[in-house]
Amino acid sequence: MIMRILVLAVISLAVFRPETAAAQTTKWVMATGYADGNFHTQNVLKFAEDVRNLSNGAVEIKVLTNQSLLKMPEILRGVQTGQVQLGEILISAYSNEDPFFEIDSIPYVSRGYEAARKVWELSRPYIVTRLKKRQVDLLYSVAWPSQGLFTKIEIRSLEDLKGSKFRVYNAATSRFAQLVGALPTTVQSAEVAQAFATGVVTTMVTSAQTGVDTQIWDFARYYVNAEIMNVKNMVIVNERALHTLPAASQAAVREAAARAEVRGWEMSQKAEAASLDTLKQKGMTVATPSDAVVVGLRRIRETMLQEWMAKAGADGQAFVRAIK
């Protein structure tokens, strides 16, 4: 009888060993709002692959793209509550919640990759502190290519934008639209093509990359490459989910994130050049901004920066002193 019990125990262990091994693999879900072909998404997929390899299979990440699980404005909350373990967000999509989430979307503050890096280095500690209050950890951040103006008509000055139906994606771009006399309408990246096709919007400020993603040449003729701003995405993780992992797995996630940040900035710069070429190949007029457009953008920068400092308080004033 005792021998039979021992044999059954050995058989049970043999049968359940695969399940036990499988249980040792932590499976996470990650939500992102961008299409599969976007360089941010490609970088995220490589990040997930690196996490699996560096953790020796201990952590696997399923990436759900193009808002298939959560829309952009919902992702931060989804990570905070544990609905998903990871998410990729446009930082400035949450500018209504804290001024520091929108600093890089004020015209001519984070302009070009060199300035974008400096703005990120200076703003990162403030953003990390604000995420920590939500029990969310920052993993990495990558800048978008420079943003310009997509229009159906030629733009000689910002006055030409007055009365246009202007696609916006955060509070800062909404304020920009108001300052140029346009009519702001919130439209997320995945919905841009439909919004243009149905006449909901006729103009937008965004990157050439987003123009390619949405095949904007079907709806607009001009792109003013004004290098207005380089906004950034960031990949975030639920703090409890991360800290529940063994130390070695946490280190693997951090190492994969560090690689993704370096790789992502390089991919962004390549995407900017490639997307500008694509717009030209598709018959769009890609133009440099006129002097009048530049003057108008500088005027808007000063207005929005003063408004931002008033909202951001002492931290904001210290930050502006640093970037100047």
Q: Would you state the structure tokens that stand for residue 36, as one six-digit string?
A: 């599969």
pLDDT greater than 60 at residue 95? yes
Q: Would you state the structure tokens that stand for residue 276, as one six-digit string?
A: 């500008």
Task: Let me know how long the chain is.
Answer: 324
Q: pTM of the prediction?
A: 0.85
pLDDT of residue 200: 95
Q: How confident is the model at residue 265 (pLDDT cuts 50, 70, 90)?
A: very high
Helix ranges, the chain (H) = 2-23, 39-54, 72-81, 113-132, 171-179, 192-197, 208-213, 239-244, 247-281, 291-323
Where are the domains positioned within the chain? 26-323
State pLDDT tens for residues 121-174: 999 999 999 999 999 999 999 999 999 999 999 999 999 999 999 999 889 999
Strand partners, 186: 168
pLDDT of residue 218: 96
Q: How confident is the model at residue 22 (pLDDT cuts 50, 70, 90)?
A: very low
Sign of CA dihedral 266, 270, 273, 275: negative
pLDDT of residue 227: 95
> In what order do the strands lie in the sheet containing 59-64?
59-64, 26-31, 86-90, 232-238, 136-143
Contact 122, 323 (CB under 8 A): yes
Determine the average pLDDT of the residues in 21-40: 86
Distances (CA, A) of 164 to 92, 121, 145, 199: 23, 36, 24, 11
Decide: helix, strand or coil at residue 156.
coil
Q: What is the DSSP letter of 290?
A: P
pLDDT greater than 70 at residue 210? yes
Q: How confident is the model at residue 188 (pLDDT cuts 50, 70, 90)?
A: confident
Location of structure tokens 């993780």:
237
pLDDT greater than 90 at residue 43? yes
Determine the average pLDDT of the residues in 225-243: 97
pLDDT greater than 80 at residue 11? no
pLDDT of residue 190: 81
Percent of the chain with pLDDT over 90: 84
* CA atoms lying within 13 Å on the CB side of residue 12: 6
| Gyration radius (Cα) of the chain, Å | 23
Q: How confident is the model at residue 323 (pLDDT cuts 50, 70, 90)?
A: confident
Percent of the chain with pLDDT over 70: 93
Dihedral Cα 67, 102, 81, 59, nearest 10 deg: 70
CB atoms within 10 A of CB 305: 19
State pLDDT tens for residues 102-127: 999 999 999 999 999 999 999 999 99
The domain defined by 26-323 carries CATH number 3.40.190.170: yes
Dihedral Cα 133, 135, 140, 141, nearest 10 deg: -50
Determine the average pLDDT of the residues in 45-57: 98
* CA–CA dist 108, 147 (Å, integer): 10
Q: Would you state the structure tokens that stand for residue 68, as one six-digit string?
A: 């298939």
* CA atoms lying within 13 Å on the CB side of residue 46: 17
Q: How confident is the model at residue 1 (pLDDT cuts 50, 70, 90)?
A: very low
